[in-house]
Structure 1
Amino acid sequence: MSRWDGKTKGSLAGYKIFLFFINTLGLDFAYRLLQLVTYYYYLFAKKQKSALLDFYQNILHFPVAKAKKLARQNFYIFGQTLVDRAAFLLGKTGQFTHVFENEQYLIDIRDGGKGGILLSAHLGNWETAGNLLKGRITPTINIVMLDAEVESIKQFMDTSTGGSRFKVIAIKDDLSHIIAIRNALVNNEFVAIHSDRYLDGAKFIELDFFGKKAKFPYGPFVIASKFDAPVTFVFAAKDGKYSYHLSATLPIMNKLKPEEIARLYVAELERKVKEYPEQWFNYFNFFV
């Protein structure tokens, strides 16, 4: 089964079609169209579906019927998160609501003046969470990510929607992203990092995840351990048609080793996967 290749899937034509429908016919119509599109992927995206079914049946130990139902829901909700992403970029936010469990933790981090490191995962919809956080808690959200999206899609999204409402810190071979992270923290900004996927050839840490060995990227936990900034684990799961549930954990204020932070992170990730199994958006063999 294939590993993650660092690239966002999706065609330029698909983005154009959904942006058009969101703009002209609204979110409800886009969601209805999405049911057909995601059912097609459920039928024919065999590798991705196989990875999900394996995760649900052999890791979470769901019966076959429930695993298939969750896989179908997973494809649809993942499609919804992409539509929601476009809707936010287009400024169509009036229909959305959210609750933020432990929001005070982020307010306290902001008021501490050292910035904050937010570790998250490909569960739920972090990009929409970043748009929700911006302006409510802090004027600036930085997201550290591989700059590997197809260039034509990036250009179209930027031109059509004005681009993301937060800053992107692209991971570079020359490690210039470390300087950018430092500068953001010095300016009392939040830096968010996905910490659940690694690329072949990159340094990783092997940890127990649901009783099996899995490889996690080492870099995010090294960053979290080296800077003098609070660290919290933040997730944003879709909990209704137009609603999101955001959560943050009690910040780590003292310096810990990367391995210690990684173990705490994985324990929280397990809790979130159990709570929202249909929003596990890792479509490849996650385990060693």
Structure 2
Amino acid sequence: MSRWDGKTRGSLTGYKIFLFFINFLGLNFAYLLLRVVTYYYFLFARKPKKALFDFYKNTLHISHNQANKLVRKNFYIFGQTLVDRAAFLLGKDRQFTHTFENEQYLIDIRDQGKGGILLSAHLGNWETAGNLLKGRITPTINIVMLDAEVENIKKFMELSTGGSRFKVIAIKDDLSHIISIRNALVNNELVAIHSDRYLDGSKYIELDFLGRKAKFPYGPFIIASKFNAPVTFVFAAKNGKYSYHLSSTKPITTKMKPEEITRLYVEELERKVKAYPEQWFNYFDFFN
């Protein structure tokens, strides 16, 4: 089974269709269309379906029938998060609500004036959650990410919606993104990094995750350990048709080794996966 290659899947035609329906027929219709589209993927997307099924059955020890149902639910909710993302970019976000567990932690980080590093994962929908928070906690949220989306889709999203409301810090081979992260922290901005996927050939830390050995990227945790900024683990799970549950952990404010931060992160990620197994959006063999 293939590893993650850093690229976002999806066709330009698919993006155009959903942007049209969200714009002119609303979210309810887009969600309805999603049931058809995601059922197609459930039937024919063999590799991601197999990876998810293995995760549910052999990692979370869910029964065969329940794991199969959970795979289908996962595809549908993932589709919803993409639709929600587009809805925010199109300015159709008034019907969304959220609750924030430990919001004060982010306020405390802001008030310290050192910026903050937010470590998250491909679980739930942190981008939409960030849109809910933008302007409430801080005017600027930076996302560190691989700039590997299909170019024509990226251009279409920018032309149709104005692009992301975040500042994107693209990971570069020349490590210039490290300077961008430093500058953001100096300006007391938040820097969010997904920390649950690594690319073949890159450095990693191997730890027990839900009872199985898994590899986590070294980069986010070395960044978290080197900069003089508080570190917290943040997650945002969809907990209703138009609502999200956001959470953050008590900030790490003392110097810690990357391995120590990774262990704490993995413990929190385990709790979130158990709470929201249908929102685990890693469609490859995570333990390979």
Give TM class, smaller chain.
Answer: over 0.9
Structure-1 residue corresponding to 2:206: 206
Structure-2 residue corresponding to 1:181: 181
Cα distance in structure 2, aligned partners of 1:91 and 1:47: 35
Cα distance in structure 2, aligned partners of 1:130 and 1:8: 20
Tell me, what secondary structure is at the counterpart of 2:32?
Answer: helix
Structure-1 residue corresponding to 2:249: 249
Partner amino acid for 1:244?
Y
Cα distance in structure 2, aligned partners of 1:61 and 1:119: 27
Cα distance in structure 2, aligned partners of 1:91 and 1:209: 38
4+ residue runs over 4 A deviation: none
Give the superposition deviation at 1:2. Answer: 0.6
Note the alpha carbon deviations across 1:232-273, whole angstroms, 9 max, x for none: 000000000000000000000001000000000000000000
Structure-2 residue corresponding to 1:190: 190
Note the alpha carbon deviations across 1:76-111, whole angstroms, 9 max, x for none: 000000000000000000110000000000000000
Partner amino acid for 1:253?
T
Structure-2 residue corresponding to 1:152: 152
Give the superposition deviation at 1:14. Answer: 0.3
Cα distance in structure 1, aligned partners of 2:130 and 2:148: 19
Partner amino acid for 2:28?
D
Written as runs of structure 1 = structure 2, the 5 A alignment for 1:83-162 is 83-162=83-162
Cα distance in structure 2, aligned partners of 1:146 and 1:257: 24
TM-score (norm 2): 0.99
Structure-2 residue corresponding to 1:25: 25
Note the alpha carbon deviations across 1:138-157, whole angstroms, 9 max, x for none: 00000000000001111100
Structure-1 residue corresponding to 2:56: 56
Tell me, what secondary structure is at the counterpart of 2:91?
Answer: coil
TM-score (norm 1): 0.99
Cα distance in structure 1, aligned partners of 2:4 and 2:129: 23
Cα distance in structure 2, aligned partners of 1:133 and 1:265: 22
Cα distance in structure 2, aligned partners of 1:176 and 1:138: 24
Cα distance in structure 2, aligned partners of 1:84 and 1:72: 19
Cα distance in structure 1, aligned partners of 2:247 and 2:151: 32
Give the superposition deviation at 1:132. Answer: 1.4
Task: State percent identity of aligned pairs.
Answer: 83
Tell me, what secondary structure is at the counterpart of 1:25?
Answer: helix
Structure-1 residue corresponding to 2:286: 286
Give the superposition deviation at 1:123. Answer: 0.1
